[in-house]
């Protein structure tokens, strides 16, 4: 498996395809909630296995230097195989490289322990999307 990071239109289309399958088809989250207009200004991690896109996540850098990881999605056949960890770690490294001061994410509440393993701290419960309670988590990044 390889993980590519970029923001070219072809990579974004592949990422959106995975997200559509996971969020809209499986989790019944309306597509318009996923397509929030931030894709073109964000970095996307795309995991590829044998030429096929299997997972994605998105990193958006804000003007104040903080960043947000969002839209973490893994094709069903590759779940519980460390693929999500690979795309999240790739974006965490990229955030560090581009000088982000922190990373925030809104995750499904049942993933709190998972993200704590990456050094994220629980901040608060936030919105409910579809039928999923989301929580805000944050990790400060070391300045290099």
What integer pLDDT is reported at residue 141 of this predicted model? 93
Please give, one letter per residue, the 3-state secondary structure of 85-144.
HHHHHHHHHHHHHCCCCEEEEEEEHHHHHHHHCCCCEEEEEEEEECCEEEEEEEEECCCC
Q: What is the pLDDT of residue 144?
A: 56
Report residue 33 CA to chain centroid gap. 15
Per-residue pLDDT, 32: 87
Mean per-residue pLDDT pooled into runs of 10, the chain (144 residues): 97 97 91 91 97 97 96 95 96 96 95 96 90 93 73
Q: Is the distance from CB of 94 to CB of 100 less than 8 angstroms?
A: no
User: Tokens 């998105």 map to which residue?
Assistant: 58
pLDDT of residue 30: 87
Give me the domains of the chain, ranges plus CATH numbers.
Answer: 2-101 (3.40.630.30)
Burial class (CB in 10 A: 0-12, 13-18, 19+), 122: middle
Instruction: Report the residue count for the chain.
Output: 144
Position 89 scores a pLDDT of 97
């Amino acid at each position: 498996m390889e993980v590519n990071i970029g923001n070219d239109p072809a990579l974004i289309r592949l990422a959106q395809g995975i997200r559509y399958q996971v969020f809209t088809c499986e989790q019944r989250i309306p597509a318009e909630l996923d397509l929030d207009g931030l894709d073109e200004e964000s970095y996307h991690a795309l995991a590829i296995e044998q030429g096929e896109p299997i997972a994605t996540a998105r990193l958006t850098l804000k003007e104040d230097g903080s960043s947000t990881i969002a839209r973490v999605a893994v094709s069903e056949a590759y779940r519980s195989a460390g693929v999500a960890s690979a795309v999240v770690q790739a974006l965490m490294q990229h955030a560090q490289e581009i000088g982000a001061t922190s990373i925030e994410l809104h995750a499904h509440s049942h993933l709190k322990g998972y993200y704590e393993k990456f050094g994220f701290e629980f901040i608060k419960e936030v919105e409910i999307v579809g039928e999923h309670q989301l929580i805000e988590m944050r990790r400060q990044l070391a300045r290099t």
